[in-house]
Amino acid sequence: MDPRSLIPAPDVLPAPVWTFDVLLLATFVLHVLAMNVLVGGSVIALVAHVRGRGLDVAQDLSRRLPTTLALTINFGVAPLLFLQVLYGHLVYASSLLMAGFWLGMVFIVLAAYYALYLYDFRLASRGEGARVWLWVALALLLCAGFLFSNNMTLMLRLEAWPGLVAGQTGWALNLSDPTLIPRWLHFMTAALAVGGLAVALLGRRHRHEDWVELGMLWFTRATLAQLAFGTWFLLSLPRPVMLAFMGDHVPATMLLLAGLAAAGLSLAAGFQKKPVPAAVLTVLTVALMALVRDQVRALSLKPWFSLSELQVATQVSPIVLFLATFAVGLIAVAWMLKAYARAGRGV
């Protein structure tokens, strides 16, 4: 069976392709940063419980984690919608192949949300077994990330679709893909780094130098591990895609080098225990790596699909209304975060 026969026809876009691509990348960066703080903060709090040290950090994080999960979910809606605008015909097909798991994501994330609240309530009331709920929440979050990585890699492997369609189970996973595990580990170690950075920034804000020390230790060690997993991920890519980042495709190579340079500078700031410069450079690194990820997607799909194939029928008024609503939404979120911080439970 020719995989092309399984690709639905893409929709006509109401605005130029670059408009949605920019929005996809910008909102994805916000989502990734929130997700990193969530997962990384959960791991750091759990390790504090296991070691019996740094429990003041765990106590502080317990109040913030449920809100961080809410932000992760909300910041994740926008990039997923923009992904569906540009690649909907592909991600829709891959979602159907793993429909059982994909629909289960809603329940997994909701269960993690409640587990984080139970962790906070139990810890605040000095109840026994608080960290059990943190174990549960973290396991569910890691599972959600793994399933998400499955879908995002499965949408790129059209050559595997005929075999999965033949099974017709709706419970397919992309376990045979050599990029799946390193990609997932690369994201999770990044979460440890950004989570540590968040702890260090909280420590600097509240003048807890021991928090700064702890956070920067997590940041530097996880960043070094992330570079190792990133190298594994690069080498696991299909050979033409891998070579594109090694000089065969100048834009892709330059983006990767820029991302590595930003990561190196952030790591240097981390070793110097300067959380603010490290945070600025980390945001830059995440933005550059989002562009690298976009290149991986485009190069992987090159034999099957290109964004240049999408048809555009510009509709000015709907786009203006959407952008205005989008801007108002961002202002509303910023106001809510500011009000939340003033209430004494800042993110």
Reported confidence tier of residue 179, pLDDT bands at 50, 70, 90: very high
Q: For residues 18-46, give the mean pLDDT.
A: 96
Q: Write the DSSP symbol of residue 246.
A: I
**CB–CB of 13/313 below 8 Å?**
yes
Q: For residues 20-33, give the mean pLDDT.
A: 95
Q: For residues 316-341, give the mean pLDDT.
A: 86
pLDDT of amino acid 347: 46
Beta carbons within 8 Å of 101's beta carbon, 6+ residues apart: 147, 150, 171, 173
Helix (H, G, I), strand (E, B) or coil at 312: strand
Dig out the tokens for 31 from the structure.
């989502």
pLDDT in tens, 111-134: 999 999 999 998 877 766 788 999
Q: Write the DSSP symbol of residue 307.
A: G
pLDDT in tens, 293-307: 999 999 999 989 999
**CB–CB of 177/152 below 8 Å?**
no
d(CA 173, CA 100): 10
Q: Which residue has the higher pLDDT, 53 or 21?
A: 21
pLDDT of amino acid 113: 96
All domains in the chain, ordered by first residue: 3-320 (1.20.1630)
Report the candidate in 72, 203, 230 with the shortest Cα–Cα distance to residue 137: 72
pLDDT of amino acid 336: 85
Q: Does pLDDT of 282 surpass 90?
A: yes
Reported confidence tier of residue 346, pLDDT bands at 50, 70, 90: very low
pLDDT of amino acid 164: 83
pTM of the model: 0.91
Q: Virtual CA dihedral for 215, 216, 217, 221, nearest 10 degrees? A: 110
**CB–CB of 149/187 below 8 Å?**
yes
pLDDT in tens, 213-268: 999 999 999 999 999 999 999 999 999 999 999 999 999 999 999 999 999 999 99
**CB–CB of 174/160 below 8 Å?**
yes
Q: Is 52 left (phi over 0), alpha (psi -120 to 50) or beta?
A: left
How far is residue 121 CA from its own chain's centroid?
27
